[in-house]
Chains A and B, each alone.
Chain A
Amino acid sequence: MSEILNFHFDVDGDDFTSAGKASVNVKKNLRQLGLPPEIIRRVSIAMYEGEINMVIHAGGGTADVNVTEEYVEILLSDKGPGIKDVDLAMQEGFSTATDNIRSLGFGAGMGLPNMKRYSDYMDIKSKVGEGTDIIMRVNII
C-alpha cells in the first residue's frame, strides 16, 4: 500500500489552549487533497478527541497521520499512566477527568466512544505505568 502523505505532530502536554492544533492542521491538509468533507470531518474529530485525551490524561504524546489510497490512518502514542480497564473506558460517560477539566466542557466520557464511532477500525493498546497506543482508520473507499 503506497502512502500518499504522512504528518507527524508532537502534542504538548501542558498547553491546553493550543490543543487541537494537530487536528485542525490535518483537516486543512486533507481538504487540499480533495477528500470528501464527511471523511475529513470524521478523521479530524476522531483525532481531536485522541489529542485532547493525550493532553488531559497522559501529559502529551505524538500523533502520526498516514494517508493511503484506501484509508486515513491516525496513530496516537503517549507515555502517560495508561488505561487500567479499556472496556470500561470505552463506555459512554466513563471519565476520570477533574472538575477543572469538566468546567472547560471536556470530561463528558464521550471521547473514546466518538473515536470508535467516527473510525472504521480502532485498536487500543495500553499498559498501566507505560502508556497508550491507539490506531484509528477511516476508510476512503
Chain B
Amino acid sequence: MTVEYLSTIDGMTPIVLCEPEREINGVYIGDLLSWVMGNATSGDAWITIMSNINILAVASLSDVSCIILAEGVTLEEDIVNTAKEKGINIISSELSTFETAVLLSHFL
C-alpha cells in the first residue's frame, strides 16, 4: 500500500505528502525515539503520539515511509512546514494507536 492510499482511508488525514508513492512495507509503533531508531525498518509506517520537532529527524534518519500521528494528535504549524522542507510524509489518524495498527495490518 502506498502512503497516499493510506491517507484516503476513513479516519486518516494527510498532513504532509511529499512522497505519496512511497510504499509502506511494515509498521513500527513507539514513542521512545531511540527505540524507534533501533528497531524500525526502512519503509515502515511509524505510529506515534509524539509531536515534537525531533520526530522529523528520527523519521528521516530511520528512513520510515511515513509518520502516523495516532489518537488525533496534531502538529504545530512550524513543524508541518519543516516536514515539508525535509520531505517527510505525515498522516494524522483519529483512531487509537491499536485501531490504527489493526487497520494497517489488513493491507500488509
B57 (CB) vs chain A CBs: closest residue: A20
CB A43 to nearest CB in B, in angstroms, measures: 9
Across the interface, do A41 and B34 meet the contact criterion of CB distance under 8 Å?
Answer: no
From known contacts A19-B54, A20-B57, A108-B32, infer whether A49 and B63 are also in contact, taking CB-CB under 8 Å.
no
* Interface: B35 (CB within 8 A): yes
List, in ascending order, chain B residues with CB within 8 A of A105's CB. Answer: 31-33, 50, 52, 54-55, 58
List, in ascending order, chain B residues with CB within 8 A of A41's CB. Answer: 42, 61-63
List, in ascending order, chain B residues with CB within 8 A of A109's CB. Answer: 34
* Interface: A131 (CB within 8 A): no
Across the interface, do A24 and B33 meet the contact criterion of CB distance under 8 Å?
Answer: no
The size of the chain B interface, using a CB distance under 8 A, is 20
When each residue 41-59 of chain B gets 1 if its CB lies under 8 Å from chain A and 0 otherwise, what string results?
A: 0100000001011110110
State the A residues within 8 Å of B (CB): 16-17, 19-20, 23-24, 27, 37-38, 41, 44-45, 48-49, 104-106, 108-111, 113-114, 117
State the B residues within 8 Å of A (CB): 31-35, 37-38, 42, 50, 52-55, 57-58, 60-63, 86
Other A-B pairs, 20, CB within 8 Å; known A23-B61, A48-B37, A110-B38:
A17-B54, A19-B54, A19-B57, A20-B54, A37-B42, A41-B42, A45-B62, A48-B57, A104-B33, A105-B31, A105-B33, A105-B54, A105-B55, A106-B54, A108-B32, A108-B33, A109-B34, A110-B32, A114-B34, A117-B38
